[in-house]
Amino acid sequence: MGIFLNSKAPYEAYKKMTQNPYFVDKSLLLTELIPSFGSVNCYCCITRPRRFGKTVMANMIGAFFGKTDKSDCIFQHLAVSEHNASRTHRNRYDVIYIDFSRAPKGCSSYVQYIRRIENSLVRDLLNAFTDCGVSADDSPWDALQKIYEEKEHNFLFVLDEWDAAFHMPFVSA
């Protein structure tokens, strides 16, 4: 478990959301995503207007597919559990979940903002894949390439609040 790789954050956030009395089960969306894994259409962008649940969906995707042994308690009572794909794909993927609205304390430049994401991601990969030749000096794309070359291992990326940087003081000032 790391800051970005297989983070507990999406699981905890989605679990909390499912306990809300006004929660609406939209877990069948997951069955729409599964056929795209490994295909030419493997990139998916979920767009909605402001305040229409994009972060809830991002957390659901991270919680469902990410390697955590806890998500059974969340998803066993949701609509997705009635599908065979649910058992095949739940908790099977290394998920890199990045919420771009979370900036480091005192962040004053775009370079500092991106560097934190890059360094934290490389550190997560280095800790999880110790036998792939990843070093702390690698860029994230080099680290991911080394892991792929060594293990033919793919990752599921969930990028939430991708436009947050445009609204941060160091960009809009």
Q: What is the per-residue pLDDT across 79-106, written as a single tens digit (0 to 9) for each?
A: 999 998 788 899 999 999 999 998 878 8
Q: For residue 114, tell me if it sits in a domain.
A: yes
| Angstrom distance (rounded) from CA 85 to CA 47 | 24
Identify the residue with better confidence: 131 or 102: 131
Q: For residue 89, tell me if it sits in a domain.
A: yes
**Taking the mean position of all CA atoms in its chain, how far away is CA 47?**
16
Count CA atoms within 13 Å of residue 51 on its CB side.
0
Report percent pLDDT > 90 for the chain: 62
Q: For residue 2, tell me if it sits in a domain.
A: no
Q: For residue 4, tell me if it sits in a domain.
A: no
CA nearest neighbour of 155 among 38, 31, 44:
38
CA nearest neighbour of 129 among 113, 152, 106:
152
pLDDT, residue 98, reads 95
Q: For residue 1, tell me if it sits in a domain.
A: no
Q: Give me the domain span that covers residue 167.
A: 9-172
What pTM, to 2 d.p., does this model score? Answer: 0.90
**Taking the mean position of all CA atoms in its chain, how far away is CA 166?**
20
Residues 6+ apart with CB under 8 A from 105: none
Q: How many domains does the chain have?
A: 1
Mean pLDDT of 20-35: 93
Q: For residue 139, tell me if it sits in a domain.
A: yes
